[in-house]
Amino acid sequence: MINYLKNIIKGFSTILVGMKVTFINLFRPNVTVQYPNVHPLVRAGSDKMPDNARNKLNVIIPKCTGCKSCEKACPVNCITIETTKVASIDTEKPLMEDGKKRVFWLSQFDIDFAKCCFCGLCTIACPTSAIVHSTDFEYSCYDRNELLVHFSPFNKEQVAEKKRILAEEVKQKAEKALADKQAAEKAAQEQNITDSKIKSSDDQTSANQNIQNNSN
C-alpha cells in the first residue's frame, strides 16, 4: 500500500519535472534560422561554420605550390592541375605567400564541383593548406558547366605567354649548352694534344648532363 502511494506520488512528481523542463524550453530563444530570408552566417554574426562543415572548396593560390597532392588524393578525380615551371629569365619574380620563391605557375587548376563528393580528402592531403572548404554552400546553378570552377589566376593568353617564356629559356639553355659543348670539345681537342684520353671523355659526360638538365 505504501509502495502504491509512493508510486503514484513519484509518477506525478516526475510528470511535473517534465513539464517544468518543457515550460523552460517554451521561453528559450529558438534556434531556427529562417534560411532563405536570413543567411545562417548572418544570423551567427560571423563567417563561422561548424567545425566539420564541408562546403564548396576554395584554393588559396598564393599558398599553392602546385605539388598535385590534392589531385592524387581525390577519389573522384575532379581536380585537374597543370603546372608550368617559372622560367629564370621571366621578368616576373613570383613569391609564395610565406616569402619563398615560387617554382611553378598554376597554369590550370580546375575543380569540377559537379563531381566533387565533398569528402575533404584533398584538404587533408595539401601540405600548405592551400585548398580549404569555404563557407559557401549555396552555389546551385542552371548550367552544369558553371560548376567547373577555374582557380588558376591566369587566362589563356597569359598561360601561353608563360609557356612561351619557358620554351624560350629552354631554347636559350639548349643553345648555351650546345655552345658550351662545342667550346668544351674544342678545348678538349686542344688539350688532347697534351693530356690523356680519359680526361676528355669526363668532360663530355658532364656536358651531356648539362643538356639534359636544361631541357627538363
Partner 1 sequence: MENHQFLFNFISEYTGDILAGVLIAIIPLALLLVYALVAIYGELKIASFIQLKLGPMRTGKWGLLQPVAEVFKLLQKEDITPDGADKPLFNLAPFIIFLGCYAALSVLPLSSHFAPSGLNIGLFFIIAISSLAVLGIVMGGWASNNKYSLIGAMRSVSQIISYEIPAAMCILGVASMAHSLDMNVISAQQQGGFWNWYVLGGPAGISKIWLIPFTVVMFIVYFVTSLAETNRTPFDVPEGESELVAGYHTEYSGMKFAFFYLAEYGNMFVVSAIMTVIFFGGWSSPFGDFLNSPIWQIFWFIAKSMFFVGLQIWLRWTLPRTRVDQLMYLCWKILLPLSMVCFLAMALGGMLY
The residues pairing with 133 across neighbouring beta strands, listed in sequence order, are 57
152 versus 207: smaller Cβ distance to ligand SF4 = 152
Instruction: Candidates 2, 3, 31, 91: give the one binding partner 1 (CB under 8 A).
Output: 31
Amino acid at residue number 89: I
166, amino acid identity: L
Q: Which is nearer to ligand SF4, 112 or 185 (CB)?
A: 112
Identify what 44 binds: ligand SF4, partner 1, none; CB under 5 to 8 Å per kind. Answer: none
Those residues with Cβ within 8 angstroms of residue 89's Cβ, 6 or more apart along the chain or in another chain:
165, 168, 169, 172
Min separation Cβ 170 and ligand SF4, Å: 23
Give the CA-trace dihedral at 64, 122, 44, 37, to 10 degrees. 100
Among 6, 9, 13, 19, binds partner 1 (CB under 8 A): 19
Q: How far is the CB of 39 from ligand SF4 (least distance, A)?
A: 23
Nearby residues of 142 by Cβ (< 8 Å), 6 or more positions away: none
Question: Which residues of the shown chain bind ligand SF4 in the complex (CB under 6 A)?
Answer: 57, 59, 64-70, 73-76, 78-79, 81, 111, 116-122, 125-126, 128, 130-131
CB of 150 to ligand SF4, least distance (A): 14
| Secondary structure class of 207 (helix, strand, coil) | helix
State which H helix or E strand residue 93 sits in: none
Distance CA 119, CA 160 (A): 34
* Partner interacting with residue 23 (select from ligand SF4, partner 1, none; CB below 5-8 Å by kind): partner 1
2 binds partner 1 (CB under 8 A): no
Q: Which of 10, 13, 15, 97 binds partner 1 (CB under 8 A)?
A: 15
Using an 8 Å Cβ cutoff, are 83 and 68 in contact? yes
Q: Which does 65 bind (CB under 5 to 8 A by kind): ligand SF4, partner 1, none?
A: ligand SF4
Return the amino acid letter for 124: I
By CB under 8 A, residue 28 contacts partner 1 = yes
* Least distance in angstroms from the C-beta of 25 to partner 1: 5
- Greatest Cα pair distance, the chain, in angstroms, is 126
**What is the helix, strand, coil percentage profile of the chain, to 5?**
50, 10, 40
Q: Which residues bind partner 1 (CB under 8 A)?
A: 8, 12, 15, 18-19, 21-23, 25-32, 34
